[in-house]
Amino acid sequence: MNDQIHRSNPSYKEIIKKEYVKCAGDPIYFMKKYCVIQHPIKGKIPFSLYDFQEKTIEDVIQHRFNIILKARQLGISTITAGYSLWLMTFHNDKNILVIATKQEVAKNLVTKVRVMHANLPTWLKAKCVEDNKLSLRYKNGSQVKAVSSGEDAGRSEALSLLILDEAAFIDRIDTIWAAASQTLSTGGQCIALSTPNGVGNWFHRTWMDAEDGLNDFNFMKLHWTVHPEREQEWRDEQDKLLGPSMAAQECDCDFITSGQSVVDGIILEEYRTTQVKEPIEKRGIDSNVWIWEPPNYTKDYIVCADVSRGDATDYSAFHILDVESLEQVAEYKGRMSTRDYGNLLVNIATEYNNALLVVENNNIGWAAIQQCIDREYDNLFYMSKDLQVVDIHRQVNNKINRMEKQLIPGFTLTQKTRPLVIAKLEEFFREKLVTVHSQRLIDELFVFIYNGSRAEAMSGYNDDLVMSYAMGLWIRETALRLRAEGIELQKKAINSITSNQGVYTPTDNQNDSWSWEIGKKRESLEWLIK
């Protein structure tokens, strides 16, 4: 009888032991039963998980790499903190690293771990040997640490769990992931969670590749509707509070409407699916000269080039455009010496029918331009500082006094002209007036965003292809405008540019080869041979 009583009334130690074992084997039970969270209004309350939160934890347990596309305020950071605490409490030597765009954001997740730890019952609480704002370390060797984004974040650390909090907003995350992923090679996990922040960045690319089965990430999408306490009324209120575009990002997990890219993401996606294609040739030592169309002797071309500043994060880039159709026929993005780049520009421009060669003359661009002048390239673009004079005839005569009209070689991008150039870029894409084949250019356009009032690449990305392309469109359009104002641009340059719709073309002019159709009118071209 006493034995039966003893068996039915186990000792306190036995109860604790069973509870400890149960918690160790079930992180969801551990969080629901013993974890406390800090509510902004109610203060410390028990952590009552919703069904979608439990399902998220179950998925995380089953997969090494997890990417979570989420709506705002779903408590995903909180359950990630609970999972981290469970790992640390019941496992020795677990090294957990939290990386976010700012140290304060990363610290918030560690703070959630600290609050849960502080409110555990004594028999469940691991002995703490280090506790500060950025880290929590146990006697069993397990720890969680918060750092901000940086090129060295996560480097040289053997990680058990890497948490990328608001991953779409982390600067230089491509570099961070390249380094940190190596530290997970011994079996560590990764949780990348974020609301969207435009397309083309690491988070978006990784998510899309996960959907297509091209990487090892398990993908989870948590739309605002997964929250059982949110109705359409709540969603409508978010439109009022955030605006439709931001609400689509923060609530609907909408990549396209997020990020505030200069060129509408929907348009870019259309270009990606309908026009982007592999080049027919990749040439050069680095195979970075991409060719889609070889030179056609009946066509006129413009080469628009940007020159690298010379640092490790910058590239030289150029595009070759068909002047009439505005089709992209070739492109380069790479790193080489200024002298070699100048030679490349002269060679490629000569190959494409002595194309008009436009080189940005900011910074180190002058060195490349000088190489073009030394090579006596006779179709180098000159302009007045205010772009009111573009005298093509004078460009091909190196003996003239260019100071007469203050002509300078190359194109000058200033604080005044830059917004106009970018506005023209957006207009050409919005009106679908260009043909773009380059995946590299489209990728850059996806992360070319408005940062306040300035349009530039997201931090950690480049816009070399974007700016050289925008410059080419501007020159082409400006030349057309000047032509309309009565300044003749001879065939040696952009070969008879006439209007937004094209150039002089010999079609349907069999009766008089020197009378070419310009729009709906005919113009004599005898002045070309006089």
Give per-residue pLDDT as tens, 458-504.
Answer: 877 889 999 999 999 988 887 555 544 444 443 434 444 444 443 33
Strands in 275-401 per DSSP E: 281-283, 289-291, 301-306, 316-322, 328-334, 356-359, 382-384
The rounded distance, in Å, linking the Cα atoms of 68 and 433 is 37
**Nearest alpha carbon to residue 268 among 204, 172, 322:** 204
Q: Which helix (H) or strand (E) holds 56?
A: helix 51-62
Q: Calculate what percentage of the chain has a pLDDT beyond 90.
A: 46
**Cβ atoms of residues 194 and 167 within 8 Å:** yes
Phi and psi torsions of 4, nearest 5°: -65, -40
Of 135-149, 377-391, 474-488, the least confident: 474-488
Q: State residue 70's pLDDT score.
A: 95
Beta bridge partners of 37: 45
To which residue do tokens 């918690």 refer?
23
C-alpha dihedral, 202 to 204 to 206 to 207, nearest 10°: 160
Q: How confident is the model at residue 386 (pLDDT cuts 50, 70, 90)?
A: low
Domain spanning 267-478, CATH architecture: 2-Layer Sandwich (3.30)
Q: State residue 480's pLDDT score.
A: 52
pLDDT in tens, 231-277: 999 999 998 888 877 888 889 888 766 667 889 888 888 999 999 99
Q: How confident is the model at residue 210 (pLDDT cuts 50, 70, 90)?
A: very high
Question: For 395-414, what is the mean pLDDT?
Answer: 60
Q: How confident is the model at residue 452 (pLDDT cuts 50, 70, 90)?
A: low
Q: In this structure, what token pair is assigned to residue 496? A: 């008879």
pLDDT in tens, 393-402: 444 344 344 4
pLDDT in tens, 97-121: 999 888 888 888 999 999 999 999 9
Number of separate helices (H) and strands (E) present in the chain = 17, 24
For the chain, what is the mean pLDDT? 82
To which residue do tokens 């931001």 refer?
246
> Does pLDDT of 372 surpass 80?
yes
> Under DSSP, is residue 361 helix (H, G, I), strand (E, B) or coil?
coil
261 DSSP 8-state letter? B
> Does pLDDT of 293 surpass 90?
yes
Domain definitions of the chain by residue range? 20-258, 267-478
**Cβ atoms of residues 500 and 480 within 8 Å:** yes
> Does pLDDT of 529 surpass 50?
no
Burial class (CB in 10 A: 0-12, 13-18, 19+), 1: exposed
Q: State residue 514's pLDDT score.
A: 53
CA atoms within 13 A on the CB side of 152: 0
Please list, in sequence order, all residues whose beta carbon lies within 8 angstroms of the beta carbon of residue 116, skipping any fewer than 6 positions away: 35, 36, 37, 47, 81, 82, 85
326 DSSP 8-state letter? -
**Cβ atoms of residues 125 and 147 within 8 Å:** no
> Does pLDDT of 318 surpass 90?
yes
The rounded distance, in Å, linking the Cα atoms of 164 and 178 is 13
Q: How far is CA 191 from CA 68, 84, 188, 229, 502, in A?
A: 7, 11, 10, 26, 52
The rounded distance, in Å, linking the Cα atoms of 143 and 276 is 47
Which class in CATH covers the domain with range 20-258? alpha beta
Evaluate whether 20-258 and 267-478 have a shared fold.
no
Q: State residue 508's pLDDT score.
A: 42
First to last CA, the chain: 125
Query: 224-246 burial, b for 16+ CB within 10 Å, e for fewer?
Result: bebbeebeeeeeeebeeeeeeeb
Q: In this structure, what token pair is assigned to residue 383? A: 């302009």
522 DSSP 8-state letter? E
Handedness of CA 365, 497, 325, 301 (dihedral sign): negative
